[in-house]
Amino acid sequence: MSITNESELIGMQKVSEAIAFTLKEMCGFAKPGMTTKEVDDFGAAVLKSFGARSAPALTYGFPGCACISVDNEFCHGIPSEQRVLKEGDLINIDVSAELNGFWADNGNSFVIGKDLNKHATLVNASKEILHKAINNIKGGVKISDIGLLMETEAKRRGFKVIKNLGGHGVGKSLHEEPDELMNYRNRFDNRRFRKNTVVAIETFISTSSNIAVELKDGWTMVGNKGGYMAQHEHTIIITDGQPIILTEMNEIFN
């Protein structure tokens, strides 16, 4: 969506605050020995306290509030009473919601407890790449140039990018134009970021795979060549200068 008046800005700020706070609280809540369903139920209660509703549940009938993916699960993981978190697990929590007709999206990958399995390098790379990408986005910048930046930064660190997942416009619904804000340069994509538009920018940084494939549950995605993936995501408003990070409260850069 494009922000055209103050009421739209306030609406986007409120839904972004709701999901950012929910994500931060869920990340702090998740501990070894908990199930991903417990973490999701906790997050659902926080989101409800804002009057917000789960976007994936509303839009796609997702069987949970947030997508929670663990270890070899790349994204869209279903919260489960059977999946128990362990010390050293790589976890991704992706929270998106609707509030008063406005929609926003954010996500965070992090390690549960101690980094027993040496995932920190991947997690930090994903954060750093998202931070650099956001700092280079402004009105008029080619979308494919940001994709090139993300892929170049990933390769420089010894990682790959997932080529069939990308960021997207957001605001009046969960997924809007511009869609397919990819982590690589699509030489056929001549689109440019436009001032005052709202987009969800996200990384998909991988150790081994470059394609995400869906499991039989119809939701969870894993890598075509295995390995692990880190994702970090902010909802931003594009300006003539530095973007406004609407979901800054999630503190994923801290």
10-residue mean pLDDT series, the chain (254 residues):
97 98 98 98 98 97 98 98 98 98 98 97 98 98 98 98 98 97 96 98 98 97 98 98 98 95
Q: Say what the pLDDT of residue 81 is.
A: 97
Amino acid found at 101? G
Q: Is 232 annotated as a binding residue?
A: no
Q: Is 251 annotated as a binding residue?
A: no
Q: Is 175 annotated as a binding residue?
A: yes
Q: Is 202 annotated as a binding residue?
A: yes
Q: Is 76 annotated as a binding residue?
A: yes
Cis peptide before 32 (omega within 30 of 0): no
- DSSP label at residue 249: G
> How far is it, in rounded angstroms, from Cα 108 to Cα 129?
13
Q: Say what the pLDDT of residue 252 is.
A: 97
Q: Say what the pLDDT of residue 56 is.
A: 97
Torsion of CA 184, 190, 194, 200, to 10 degrees: -30
Given the DSSP bridges, would you call strands 229-230 and 90-99 parallel, antiparallel or unpaired? unpaired
